[in-house]
Structure 1
Amino acid sequence: MSWLFGWGRSSGAPPADELTAAAAPAEGSGGAKPGDKWSNFDPTGLERAAKAAKDLDQSRNAKEALALARMQEQTVQLEHQSKVKVGFWKMGCWDCVISVYVCVCVTAKLCKPKKSLHQQEYEAAVEQLKGEQIRLQGEERRKTLAEETKQNQARAQYQDKLARQRYDDQLRQQQFLNEENLRKQEESVVKQEAMRKSTIEHEMELRHKNDLLRVEAEAKARAQVERENADLIREQIRLKAAEHRQTVLESIKTAGAVFGEGFRAFVSDWDKLTATVAGLTLLAAGVYSARNATAVAGRYIEARLGKPSLVRETSRITVAEAIKHPVKTTKRLRSRPQDALEGVVLSAALEGRVRDVAIATRNTRQNKGLYRNILMYGPPGTGKTLFAKKLALHSGMDFAIMTGGDVAPMGRDGVTAMHKVFDWASTSRRGLLLFVDEADAFLRKRSTEKISEDLRATLNAFLYRTGEQSNKFMLVLASNQPEQFDWAINDRIDEIVNFALPGLDERERLVRMYFDKFVLVPATTGRQRLKLAQFDYGQKCSDIAQRAEGMSGREISKLGVAWQAAAYSSEDGVLTEAMIDSRVDDAIKQHAQKMDWLLMEAGEGVGKVGVRLPK
């Protein structure tokens, strides 16, 4: 019904003067109540509309015109609604909403007398639009407040950031100023130190020059004075020499007179002469006797308390050792006899034989009988030295260890040293087990071997001291080549024991013993940096014993030390099965290399006594 209000069909908007008049209250009110917006409404338009409606009712085409007008009005309202929505969302213009609301209200008032269902729906849509507008306005306000809050927070954060940056800049500037001041102070100190050093050097130089000038002036003055007073100085020297000569001559004359009078008085008195001669004689005899007695006492003390130079190790307690290790000495004195085979792994037959030797030796000491001399031969590292020590401890005897390689370098002193060893052995109250390791080094055949005269004399002294069995000492010889002994040495041996390489059972016992000693016990006590990985220890020891065929007990003990060293060298200190196998492989290769060297020395297939060489 836009033509009722005088709007043109070509234009989709109301006239400008009416739109301005309708929108003016909305702009000036600034949020007044909705009833105030229609206080300045012009009713002329409604009068024209009422007159036109009356004329239209009297027309015979009123129904068709009204239907057409209704359709046009619906179209225009829909267009206005779409424009209002678009304008509100794009521009947020409250005036447009007010204009639409005015138009809707005017239309509603004009059509009130003839409301229809469509008009009711239209009014409901307008009310819904008003509610939607109010909701959108609230949402817009909330968004505006949220945006303002966000902007305020961003502004506060930015200001805080600027403040921190200014503070950091101030700190950096202050630090730079401090560093600059410190650098200037250091430069000033360096300059002052340099100036002080230069000043001191200059003063020292001036002082040195002054000293040189002073010494030179004094020397020149002294030389000048000496040249001027040369005659006086020579006269003073001559007078002093004459006076000294006169004094010496008078002293000699006085001493001669006194000595002559005393000698004449002494010679004329026979009692004094006899007493003097007797005193000098007694003094000479005392000096001679004291010197000989001191030598005899020294030899006795050395024989009783000292250790001969040929003895490398002994269980006898010396004075020096007691002073140096009192705790160790006390423990040794309180020690009890031990089992002769404790810690010694031998075959069943050999173990029975050496146990019989140990029992016989112990009973011999208790009954103060004559000891039997023993020869132990076999490959190196089979337990000969260890058994000798255990034998001495088991029987309650002292032991002393010497090596044959120490005898030859002594030369002429070898005979004296050998006698000292046996004299020292004879002074033991408990009996002494004298263990000679590598005895074939100096007990060689005198008829065929080329030995020096000094070594021959030492061998004769050894044969002289061991010609008869003794109840003071027991002789135990160890050798890898007993066939090189002199025949007289073989005649002095009462028991021969062969220490062969360990068999499979003995190797397994050795592997288990050294595994417990060097690996298992340190790993379980926790005192050392050693840990053990999880695997079957017993089966591993059996496998190692089978692989270590031909190896001696010493080589197996070195395997235990190698396992311990492998654990210590690892990062975490854990000994794994792979590390054990690696060390065993290395030991087997080294043993094979040693056997190759032995074959090259002795000839293929022929080895030393007691050593089985691989074919």
Structure 2
Amino acid sequence: MSWFWNRGTSSPQDGEFFPPAGSGSAGKDGDDAPPISEESKKWVGFDPTGLERAAKAVRELDSSPNAKHALDLAKLQEQTVQYKHQEEIRKQEAAIRQWESERSRVEQEEKRKTLGAETQQHQERAKYQDQLARRRYDDQLLQQRQMQEENLRKQEESVQKQEGMRRGTIEYEAELRHKNEMSRVQAEIQGKTKMERENQDLALEQIRLKSSEQRTTVLQSIKAAGTLLGEGVSNFVTDWDKVSATAAGLTLIAFGVYTAKMGTGVVARFIEARLGKPSLIRETSRLSLFQSIRHPVKATKKLFKRPSDPLAGIVFESSHEERLRSLCKATINTRQNGGLYQNVLMYGPPGTGKTMFAKSLAVHSGMDYAVMTGGDIVPLGSDGVTAIHKVFDWANASRKGVLLFVDEADAFLRKRSEVSISEDLRSTLNAFLYRTGESSRKFMLVLASNQPDQFDWAINDRLDDLIPFDLPGETERLRMLKLYFSLFVLAPPRVTWWKTPKSIPLQEGVDWEREIEQISKNIIGFSGREISKLAISWQARAFGSSEGVLTKEILDHCVKEMLAQHEQKVRWQKGH
């Protein structure tokens, strides 16, 4: 519809409207009216009453107080429609962007797949080229080997030909020499044979004369010897002075031989007891006269050496240390006052410090220590009794006193009621019991065993004190680790006076204090010997590394290996 009004001026009046241009009301005269167009023909017969009603509604709306609000509402509705269209546009744009992103992702995925395929193809091509290169190299090696073998074969053939020629020459020369020698020998034999045939009668005559002379000489010698012997015996028997002198001389000779034999044995036993060392003693701090002459510096230092802390360098539990210090003090006072020494048994797992403490106790108390093992007595057999007596005679000859430490004592001090014990070992045990029946002022007996329940009941009766040596706890393990870490890593001990060892550098940035504390918590069940071996392994691995530095990796690796070895030892001990 082409009807309109000017809203900015005034509303059309009822019945007032503006028909479209070219309508039939443009002029009264039909002749002057313009021709009706096709567009105007569409409005012919149109009923304008509807438009009138609409105009009336518009006038009423304009006269209404809510007209302005209705216009604003219409504007809002239009803006809402526009916002909806813009929202649809944004959704379409977002969908377009998402589609473009998805397309980009797909393109990137395709590119990545393509790149992966190309990379795999390059790898396969490189692998194939490497295989070809290896094959070419193997073929070259094979050809070189074949050429070398061919050259060697040719050289061997040449050497064999030369050797054959040389051997043929030597054989030919030997054959010629042999022929010449055979010809010479044959000629000599023929000449000798001919001469012997010619001189055979003369030789027979000479043999007869020589045999006759020898027979006559032998007969005359026998007659003269018999005559002299008979006259001598007759004169000796008839002369009493000669008989008495002969008897006295023989008696003196026998007495001299017997005296020399017995005196030599006594002197030998005295020298062995005073100066020598029995074969059963494996280690001792007691110096003989010859050793003092051979090592004067060591002997002099020993004379001026003062007692020190017996537990220096040894770590035990605090209450156990107090007991051991009490034993050391009692031993010192016993030696100074000339009292009777106690016999002590140290029992516990191996590597818990029994031998170390026994040596320290002897040195601290001013005594000499001597170490022997029970396993050395068993193979002696019948000689075990003599060996035991030699040990105690040697100990009784000491001026300072001897701490006799018997390690693995259960090896020969077993129950005599056992069927497996031999008569020789039973006799050796009886000799040991005889020499230790009473407390001594010359020696202190210290036994060490891992199985004290196997001792004979008489051995237990001779023991005055039983000291257990248990595995170290966490506190003791930490103290041992710090001690051995300082001893073997930070400040290795001096081996010789002219060579000062250097400390091992440590890796920077590692809290070694915390690492050692953690290790002490992990090595549960380790003995003191195992802990010292762990520190020695740190030292060895650091010396064997290319940088010569102790790192955390070396520390952890050694701990891991020692833990595995400890577990294996435990399984062996349990019989698994």
TM range (shorter): 0.5 to 0.7
Provide the secondary structure at the position in 1 that maps to 2:459.
helix
* Match for residue 595 of structure 1 among 567, 570, 573: 570
Q: Is 1:398–2:368 an aligned residue pair?
A: yes
One-letter code aligned to 2:276: G
- Evaluate the alpha carbon distance shift between residue 460 and residue 199 of structure 1 in structure 2; reply closer, same or farther with a 3 A threshold: closer
- Evaluate the alpha carbon distance shift between residue 199 and residue 305 of structure 1 in structure 2; reply closer, same or farther with a 3 A threshold: same
Deviation at 1:334, TM superposition (A): 4.3
Matches within 5 A, 1:563-578: 563-578=538-553
- The superposition leaves residues 107-154 of structure 1 with CA deviations (integer Å, 9 ceiling, x where unpaired) of xxxxxxxxxxxxxxxxxxxxxxxxxxxxxxxxxxxxxxxxxxxxxxxx
Deviation at 1:380, TM superposition (A): 0.7
Deviation at 1:346, TM superposition (A): 0.8
* Match for residue 225 of structure 2 among 249, 255, 260: 255
Q: Is 1:466–2:440 an aligned residue pair?
A: no
Residue 280 (structure 1) aligns with: 250
* Match for residue 540 of structure 1 among 515, 528, 535: 515
CA distance in 2, matches of 1:569, 1:539: 25
* Match for residue 504 of structure 1 among 457, 468, 474: 474
Task: Work out whether residues 490 and 503 of structure 2, in 8 Å CA contact, stay in contact via their aligned partners in 1.
Answer: no
- Evaluate the alpha carbon distance shift between residue 432 and residue 449 of structure 1 in structure 2; reply closer, same or farther with a 3 A threshold: farther
One-letter code aligned to 1:545: S
Provide the secondary structure at the position in 2 that maps to 1:400.
strand
Residue 282 (structure 2) aligns with: 312
Task: Work out whether residues 403 and 443 of structure 2, in 8 Å CA contact, stay in contact via their aligned partners in 1.
Answer: yes
Deviation at 1:229, TM superposition (A): 3.0
CA distance in 1, matches of 2:451, 2:318: 24
- Evaluate the alpha carbon distance shift between residue 211 and residue 440 of structure 1 in structure 2; reply closer, same or farther with a 3 A threshold: same
One-letter code aligned to 2:545: S
Matches within 5 A, 1:342-357: 342-357=312-327
- Evaluate the alpha carbon distance shift between residue 256 and residue 448 of structure 1 in structure 2; reply closer, same or farther with a 3 A threshold: closer
Task: Work out whether residues 307 and 424 of structure 1, in 8 Å CA contact, stay in contact via their aligned partners in 2.
Answer: yes
Residue 552 (structure 1) aligns with: 527
One-letter code aligned to 1:568: F
Q: Is 1:478–2:448 an aligned residue pair?
A: yes
Matches within 5 A, 1:213-362: 213-319=183-289, 321-322=291-292, 325=295, 327-362=297-332
Aligned-residue sequence identity (percent) comes to: 60
CA distance in 2, matches of 1:531, 1:242: 102
Residue 408 (structure 1) aligns with: 378
Deviation at 1:212, TM superposition (A): 4.0
Deviation at 1:568, TM superposition (A): 2.6
Deviation at 1:322, TM superposition (A): 4.5
Deviation at 1:580, TM superposition (A): 0.9
* Match for residue 380 of structure 1 among 327, 336, 350: 350
Task: Work out whether residues 400 and 432 of structure 1, in 8 Å CA contact, stay in contact via their aligned partners in 2.
Answer: yes
Task: Work out whether residues 485 and 535 of structure 2, in 8 Å CA contact, stay in contact via their aligned partners in 1.
Answer: yes
One-letter code aligned to 1:450: S
Deviation at 1:463, TM superposition (A): 1.0
CA distance in 1, matches of 2:481, 2:310: 20
Deviation at 1:320, TM superposition (A): 5.5
- The superposition leaves residues 309-332 of structure 1 with CA deviations (integer Å, 9 ceiling, x where unpaired) of 221111122355446655544444
- Evaluate the alpha carbon distance shift between residue 200 and residue 458 of structure 1 in structure 2; reply closer, same or farther with a 3 A threshold: closer
Task: Give unmatched runs, 5+ long, in structure 1.
Answer: 1-194, 602-615
One-letter code aligned to 1:283: I
- Evaluate the alpha carbon distance shift between residue 489 and residue 265 of structure 1 in structure 2; reply closer, same or farther with a 3 A threshold: same
Q: Is 1:514–2:488 an aligned residue pair?
A: no
- Evaluate the alpha carbon distance shift between residue 286 and residue 565 of structure 1 in structure 2; reply closer, same or farther with a 3 A threshold: same
Task: Work out whether residues 489 and 503 of structure 2, in 8 Å CA contact, stay in contact via their aligned partners in 1.
Answer: no
CA distance in 2, matches of 1:217, 1:554: 87
- The superposition leaves residues 479-532 of structure 1 with CA deviations (integer Å, 9 ceiling, x where unpaired) of 111122111111111111111111122111111111122211249997469543
Deviation at 1:425, TM superposition (A): 1.1
- Evaluate the alpha carbon distance shift between residue 359 and residue 227 of structure 1 in structure 2; reply closer, same or farther with a 3 A threshold: farther
One-letter code aligned to 1:546: K
CA distance in 1, matches of 2:282, 2:500: 36
Structure 1, 515-524 or 409-418: larger mean CA deviation = 515-524
Provide the secondary structure at the position in 2 that maps to 1:411.
helix
Q: Is 1:494–2:469 an aligned residue pair?
A: no
Task: Work out whether residues 445 and 486 of structure 1, in 8 Å CA contact, stay in contact via their aligned partners in 2.
Answer: yes
Q: How many residues align?
A: 408
CA distance in 2, matches of 1:526, 1:428: 37
- Evaluate the alpha carbon distance shift between residue 269 and residue 423 of structure 1 in structure 2; reply closer, same or farther with a 3 A threshold: same
- The superposition leaves residues 217-270 of structure 1 with CA deviations (integer Å, 9 ceiling, x where unpaired) of 223322333344334323322322221222222222223333333333333332
Task: Work out whether residues 317 and 329 of structure 1, in 8 Å CA contact, stay in contact via their aligned partners in 2.
Answer: yes
One-letter code aligned to 1:548: I
CA distance in 2, matches of 1:523, 1:461: 43
CA distance in 1, matches of 2:504, 2:537: 13
One-letter code aligned to 2:207: I
Task: Work out whether residues 490 and 504 of structure 2, in 8 Å CA contact, stay in contact via their aligned partners in 1.
Answer: no
Task: Work out whether residues 347 and 506 of structure 1, in 8 Å CA contact, stay in contact via their aligned partners in 2.
Answer: yes
Residue 137 (structure 2) aligns with: none
CA distance in 2, matches of 1:451, 1:203: 75
CA distance in 2, matches of 1:332, 1:217: 87
Provide the secondary structure at the position in 1 that maps to 2:547.
coil
One-letter code aligned to 1:389: K
Deviation at 1:449, TM superposition (A): 6.0
Matches within 5 A, 1:423-462: 423-448=393-418, 450-462=420-432
Task: Work out whether residues 278 and 394 of structure 2, in 8 Å CA contact, stay in contact via their aligned partners in 1.
Answer: yes
CA distance in 2, matches of 1:251, 1:334: 80
Deviation at 1:418, TM superposition (A): 1.2
Provide the secondary structure at the position in 1 that maps to 2:491.
helix
- The superposition leaves residues 556-607 of structure 1 with CA deviations (integer Å, 9 ceiling, x where unpaired) of 0100111122123222322211101110111112212222333347xxxxxx
Task: Give unmatched runs, 5+ long, in structure 2.
Answer: 1-164
Provide the secondary structure at the position in 2 that maps to 1:496.
strand
One-letter code aligned to 2:470: A
One-letter code aligned to 2:269: R
Residue 158 (structure 1) aligns with: none
Deviation at 1:209, TM superposition (A): 4.6
Structure 1, 515-524 or 263-272: larger mean CA deviation = 515-524
One-letter code aligned to 1:492: R
Task: Work out whether residues 376 and 498 of structure 1, in 8 Å CA contact, stay in contact via their aligned partners in 2.
Answer: yes
TM-score (ref. length: structure 1):
0.62
One-letter code aligned to 1:273: V
- Evaluate the alpha carbon distance shift between residue 263 and residue 356 of structure 1 in structure 2; reply closer, same or farther with a 3 A threshold: same
Provide the secondary structure at the position in 2 that maps to 1:580.
helix
Residue 41 (structure 2) aligns with: none
- Evaluate the alpha carbon distance shift between residue 227 and residue 580 of structure 1 in structure 2; reply closer, same or farther with a 3 A threshold: farther
One-letter code aligned to 1:599: K
Provide the secondary structure at the position in 2 that maps to 1:282.
helix
CA distance in 2, matches of 1:395, 1:472: 13
Task: Work out whether residues 487 and 493 of structure 2, in 8 Å CA contact, stay in contact via their aligned partners in 1.
Answer: no
Task: From the two aligned structures, give the one with the greater helix fraction.
Answer: 1
CA distance in 2, matches of 1:327, 1:321: 11
CA distance in 2, matches of 1:523, 1:284: 62
CA distance in 2, matches of 1:216, 1:536: 100
Deviation at 1:200, TM superposition (A): 9.9
One-letter code aligned to 2:242: K
- The superposition leaves residues 310-362 of structure 1 with CA deviations (integer Å, 9 ceiling, x where unpaired) of 21111122355446655544444443333211211111111111011011101
CA distance in 1, matches of 2:202, 2:503: 92
Provide the secondary structure at the position in 2 that maps to 1:508.
helix
Deviation at 1:215, TM superposition (A): 2.8
Residue 19 (structure 1) aligns with: none
